[in-house]
Amino acid sequence: MKNNTTVYFDNAATTPLRKEVIGAMAEVMENCFGNPSSTHAFGRSAKAYVETARKGIAKILNAQPQEIIFTSGGTESDNMVLHCAVRDLGVKTIISSAIEHHAILHTLEILEQNHGIEVKLLEVSDKGEVDFNQLEEYLALDNSPKLVTLMHINNEIGNLLDLEKVVVLCQAHQAYFHSDAVQGIGHYPFDLEALKIDFLSAAAHKFHGPKGIGFAYIRKNRKLMPLIHGGTQERGLRAGTESVHNIVGMFKALEIANDLWAKEKAQLLELKKYFLQKLKTLFPDAITNGFSGDLKRSTYTLVNVALPLPESKAAMLDFHLDLKGIACSKGSACQSGSTSGSHVLNALGTATQWPSLRFSFSIFNTKAEIDYLMQVLEEFVTT
């Protein structure tokens, strides 16, 4: 590939929009500017788009339309569920882990400090696996109402959580279960009729949809009250005029992801295998963080790797890749600019002096781009 090429390997941070998504959004922006709360024809037309999207998203997840609440994205959905579970469901103890996204961890700090909630963080292995025995132990500690919040796919190391296993444990102890599925929805099929989870968080920009839109899945009869007060939108649960074009874009993105899921998963698995193979040839000592090198236990979209580089080289690595037009991430994207390193890698306790990079892929990536990356890395270590 030419040197002025730009290569985007940061799809866990955000994904490019699909053309069809842009088309669907543009159509709404051009032709449907009404406020869905207005009762005239303009409003009714906007409302129809919103409700069609809600029904469509619910159908894809095998959920009920009223269980889908549109929000501004993953962070808001996480905040909504945690705050409301404490306020409205009487939750006194929240069980989580140290490798959750900061949208969870920082919310837990607030709930602990301001609301006296007991937060129990599960230990994780050096691969980032949560301790299920400890989860059971915490669930059985006392009879206080509990919420478990554990992410479906870790955004830094790609580890997959066995959601069904957590559901079974939570049900046995009458605890609520929320999962931050921001990295999972749009990449894995969900059947929420079968999977008896109470709450989920999702964000469209992780599956080729627009930014600033997502949803919270709230199972029927889990009676939450609004966190954002105002109008009666979202059945009174989340005030504010609906972002109609974003909602339509999210639905379109999820619809395409769902239609093409098996094909795109196979394509991306192939790409990930190719990446791991090339990496091993170039850096036989490289260490994949968490389960990200294990095709069965991590998502097919990312690899997080510690590269065996001397300190002098390590300091220049990010800069060099950027200069060569390659975008990837040092830990989590939300952390860029931070000097304290990734809280996830720190929690695994396997921190090395080697620099760790997260490469995350989408169907718009190619093997030629991986070849280009390897060529750039090879030149970097040998010069």
Residue nearest to ligand PLP (CB): 74
Sequence-ordered list of residues with C-beta below 8 angstroms from that of 129, at least 6 positions apart, any chain: 159, 291
Q: How many chain residues bind ligand PLP (CB under 6 A)?
A: 13
**Which sign, positive or negative, has the C-alpha torsion 257, 261, 266, 272?**
positive
CA distance linking residue 302 with residue 184, whole number of Å: 12
Q: How far apart are CA 44 and CA 90, in angstroms?
A: 38
Stretch that binds ligand PLP, among 35-43, 67-75, 286-294, 346-354 (CB under 6 A): 67-75
Kindly write down the DSSP assignment for every residue of 91-135, as one continuous string: --EEEEETTS-HHHHHHHHHHHHHH--EEEEEPB-TT--B-HHHH
CA–CA dist 177, 196 (Å, integer): 9
- Output 43 or 212, the one with its CB closest to ligand PLP: 212
Contact between residue 173 and residue 151 where contact means Cβ atoms under 8 Å apart: no
Both tokens of 334, joined, read 């939300």
> Of residues 11, 15, 75, 362, which one binds ligand PLP by CB under 6 A?
75
Q: Which is nearer to ligand PLP, 147 or 151 (CB)?
A: 151
Q: x/- site string to ligand PLP, residues 90 to 119, per CB under 6 A?
A: -----------x-x----------------
User: Which residues in 330-359 contact ligand PLP (CB under 6 A)?
Assistant: 334
| 314 in Cβ contact with 354 (< 8 Å) | yes
Bridge partners, residue 202, by sequence: 215
For residue 302, the SS3 value is: strand
Q: Output 147 or 203, the one with its CB closest to ligand PLP.
A: 203
Of 155 and 304, CB closest to ligand PLP: 155
Q: Which of 182, 257, 307, 328 binds ligand PLP (CB under 6 A)?
A: 182
In this structure, the number of other CB atoms found within 10 A of the CB of residue 174 comes to 10
Q: In this structure, are residues 253 and 186 in contact, taking their beta carbons and an 8 Å threshold?
A: yes
The site map against ligand PLP for 20-39 (x = CB under 6 A) is --------------------
Site string for ligand PLP, 192-211 (x = CB under 6 A): -----------x--------
292 binds ligand PLP (CB under 6 A): no
**CB-based contact 290:156 (threshold 8 Å):** yes
Which of 32, 170, 328, 334 is flagged as catalytic? 334
d(CA 309, CA 145): 49
- Only one of the segments 178-186, 255-263, 283-291, 366-374 lies at the binding site for ligand PLP (rule: CB under 6 A); that segment is 178-186
343 phi and psi angles, rounded to 5 deg:
-65, -25
Give yes or no for residue 180 binding ligand PLP (CB under 6 A). Answer: yes
Q: Which of 36, 214, 226, 331 binds ligand PLP (CB under 6 A)?
A: 214
Region binding ligand PLP by CB under 6 A among candidate stretches 38-46, 68-76, 282-290, 353-361: 68-76
Of the residues 34, 36, 56, 73, which one makes contact with ligand PLP according to CB under 6 A: 73
Nearest-angstrom CA–CA distance, 74 and 95: 19
**Cα–Cα dist 321/328, whole Å:** 8
CA 22 from centroid of its chain's CA atoms = 21
Nearest to 329 by CA among 166, 157, 203, 163: 157
Which of 34, 36, 56, 74 binds ligand PLP (CB under 6 A)? It is: 74
Minimum gap (Å) between residue 299 Cβ and ligand PLP: 11
360 sits near ligand PLP (criterion: CB under 6 A):
no
Question: Shortest distance, CB of residue 180 to ligand PLP, whole angstroms?
Answer: 5
Q: Can 334 be counted among the known catalytic residues?
A: yes
By beta-carbon proximity to ligand PLP, the closer residue of 180 and 372 is: 180
Binding positions for ligand PLP, rule: CB under 6 A: 73-75, 101, 103, 151, 155, 180, 182-183, 203, 214, 334
Catalytic residue list: 334
